[in-house]
Structures are given as C-alpha cells and as structure tokens.
Structure 1
Amino acid sequence: MPYWLMKSEPDEFSIEDLASSASARWDGVRNFQARNYLREMKVGDLFFFYHSSCAIPGIAGIGRVVAEAYTDPTALAPDSPYFDGKASAERNPWSAIDVGHVATFERVLPLATLKTDPGLTGLALVKKGSRLSVMPVAPDEWATILRIANERLPD
C-alpha cells in the first residue's frame, strides 16, 4: 500500500477538523506534481496529516483516502480562495479526494525532530526547497515516523 503526506494549515483545516467529520474533501491543491500525486491515491491509502504554516509545523496524525480523485469544484467557484479563472467545466485541471480520520497524535511531531532522524534523509519533506503539499512516503520512512511518534508518547 502506498503511503503519503499531505499538508494543511491548521487554521484552515486541521486534524481535529477531520476527526470531527465522517469524511472531508481535500481540495485546493494548485501544483501539478501534487495534483498528480492526488490522482495516484487509492481508497484505503494512508497519509500523514501535516500541519503547516503554524507555530510548530509537523505531523499531527494519520488519515485515510476514502474516495479517489475527482474534479475539484473549488476551481470553478468564484468565491473560493482556490478559484482558477482559467479552469472551466470542460477543462478543469485540478483534482480533489475525500479523506477520513484514522488517528490524532497526542502531540504534533515537529519538522525539526523529523529532520534529525537519519532514517528520513530521503523524505521529500525534510529536503531543502521541497514545498509540495502532497508527497509520497516510502514504507521505511513511514515506519520510521511511526517509531518516532511512539517514542514521544508518555509511558
């Protein structure tokens, strides 16, 4: 099963928001590579939910894909911050997926901690200049992050 990491600003949509709903649409992705990754996701795939652009950026929990990619309606909504004036009903290049909650970490696993683990040097998230909001996570990286998260839990 492929693993993923998806970023969201917690003041816009947080792991807590996801936990409080049966499922939610993950939309507003406006980078072609990130969009392509969304299109690769399959129902059942797991992802790390990453809180970005906040006091302590990091992994806040785990989600699951519950519906595969479909046309992102926010691209056509003039009142949406994700509106794309070049998109049309016939030619909308953007995709969204539906996701569900799996787990919320007791504490956010900070980016600074992830950067110090030698098992994560290949993770796109920790590489300089990597700003994608959706990215794959290798199985060994997934296991390393889960290990770090479990080590941070109180006994």
Structure 2
Amino acid sequence: MAYWLLKTEPTAYSYANLERDQKTVWDGVTNNLALKYLRSMRKGDLAFIYHTGDEKSLIGIAEVASDPYPDPKKKDSKLAVVELKPKERLPRALPLSEIKAQSQLKNFELVRLPRLSVMPVSDSVWKLLLEFAKKS
C-alpha cells in the first residue's frame, strides 16, 4: 500500500462532499508530474485530502477505490482518474503553517512543490502527519 496527498479547492469539492457522496471520481488533474503520480495509485492506497484556498489544511483520509483509468469525460486519453471513498476525518485540520514549521518535513513535496495537486507521501511522513493531527 502506498500513501498520497490530493489537493482540492473546498468550494469546488470538499472532504465533506466526499463524506456525503461516499464515492467520487477524482478528476481534473492535468499537470504532467501530478498525472504521473495519479497513474501510480492503486486500489487500496490511502490519500490525505488537503483543502487549498483559505483553509490550506489536511482535512481527512480517503481510500483509493479503483486503479487509474482514462478520464471518461475527456477525449484526451492522456488524462486519468481514480475513484475515492472517504475513510476518516482527521482529529483536527492540520494547517500548512504547522507542517512547514516541522524541520523534518522540509523536503516533503507539499512544502517543496506547493502547486502540485497529487503527490506521494512516504511512510515516515504519513506517520508524522497523523501524529501532528492528533495533537491539540
């Protein structure tokens, strides 16, 4: 199993929407590196859902519910999608400012490549972020 981080603008689609819908097709990824990562996702992987915009926080965890497949809404077969289902909301939203304040996360893609919408998360970073989200 691999770990990922997926970004979304909460005014377009939030973690609350995913909880309500119970499943969604994660589409709209067009950046080449983000698409490469999306195509590496596999059913059963887990992903942090990160709200962009004013929130800039990790909100919850989703489970990848399908292997990647071509975006059925686009004629461009280079674009891919995966299906997601909600797994759990984090105990608290974990703001980007707290993530950036951790020296052990300085090389994490969320800090290094802030515009990337899909990125891998190492096992050690996944565990750290879960620990930070549990602290009040």
Q: Distance in 1 between matches of 2:78 and 2:68?
A: 12
- The more displaced of 92-101 and 118-127 is 118-127
Deviation at 1:107, TM superposition (A): 3.2
Partner of 2:22: 22
- The more displaced of 133-142 and 16-25 is 16-25
Task: Specify the code of the residue in structure 1 equivalent to 2:16.
Answer: E
- Give yes or no for contact 2:91–2:134 (8 Å, CA) kept in 1: no
Partner of 1:101: 86
Under a length normalisation based on structure 2, what TM-score does the superposition of the two structures give? 0.94
Q: What pairs up with 1:2-151 in 2 under 5 angstroms? A: 2-53=2-53, 55-76=54-75, 87=76, 92-127=77-112, 129-151=113-135
Task: Specify the code of the residue in structure 2 equivalent to 1:66.
Answer: A
Poorly superposed stretches of 4+, deviation over 2 Å = 73-76
The root-mean-square deviation of aligned C-alpha atoms, in Å, is 1.2
Q: Distance in 2 between matches of 1:107 and 1:75?
A: 36
Deviation at 1:106, TM superposition (A): 4.3
- Give yes or no for contact 2:92–2:134 (8 Å, CA) kept in 1: no
- Structure number with greater Rg is 1
- Give yes or no for contact 1:28–1:75 (8 Å, CA) kept in 2: no
Give the % identical residues.
36
Under a length normalisation based on structure 1, what TM-score does the superposition of the two structures give? 0.83
- Give yes or no for contact 1:16–1:104 (8 Å, CA) kept in 2: no
Q: Distance in 2 between matches of 1:13 and 1:39?
A: 21
Listed as ranges, the gaps of 5+ residues in structure 1 are 77-86
Give the number of equivalent residue pairs.
Answer: 136
